């Protein structure tokens, strides 16, 4: 059974940092592009970043470039999102998702984790 479980969310002050993690199981993690997608409270979905199977290519939405870093450790079946210089508008539920259908780097994601909540407030 495919499972994705995020962790690392919490309350952080504006300008602060957080590192999100996603533990994957039930599929060959190193064979899939992986994404982070976020959803602000009561709002729609917004793709944040994704990373190639071997970690050699990374893509970001414009508003997080230079502040967020996506990475992965295939030996640990884990995906990460380092978030620096956090702003109020970054507050959201962050989902880890498996990119399966489509022409990389874009894709439709067929499995999603339950999410981890990031709150940015002083």
Positions touching another protein (CB under 8 A) are 37, 44-47, 59, 61, 95, 101-103, 105-115
Q: Minimum distance between the CB of residue 74 and another protein, rounded to whole angstroms? A: 23
Closer residue to another protein (CB): 7 or 17: 7
Q: Which CB atom, from 16 or from 91, has the smaller least distance to another protein?
A: 91
Please report how close the Cβ of residue 61 comes to another protein at its closest, in angstroms: 6
Nearest-10 Cα torsion for 46, 49, 50, 54: -170
Whichever of 11 and 57 has its CB closer to another protein, that residue is 57
Phi and psi at residue 76, to the nearest 5°: -105, 5
Closest approach, Cβ 3 to another protein, in A, equals: 12
State in angstroms the smallest separation of the CB of 54 from another protein.
Answer: 19
Indicate the residue among 14 and 102 with the shorter CB distance to another protein: 102
């Amino acid at each position: 059974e495919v499972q994705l479980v995020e962790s690392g969310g919490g309350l952080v002050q504006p300008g602060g940092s957080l590192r999100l993690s996603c533990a994957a199981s039930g599929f060959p993690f190193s064979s899939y592009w992986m994404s982070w997608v976020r959803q602000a409270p009561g709002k729609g979905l917004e793709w944040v970043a994704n990373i190639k199977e071997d970690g050699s290519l990374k893509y970001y939405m414009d508003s997080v470039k230079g502040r967020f870093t996506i990475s992965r450790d295939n030996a640990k079946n884990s995906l990460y999102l380092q978030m620096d210089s956090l702003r109020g508008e970054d507050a959201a539920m962050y989902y880890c998702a498996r990119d399966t259908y489509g022409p990389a780097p874009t894709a439709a994601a067929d499995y999603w984790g339950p999410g981890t909540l990031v709150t940015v407030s002083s």
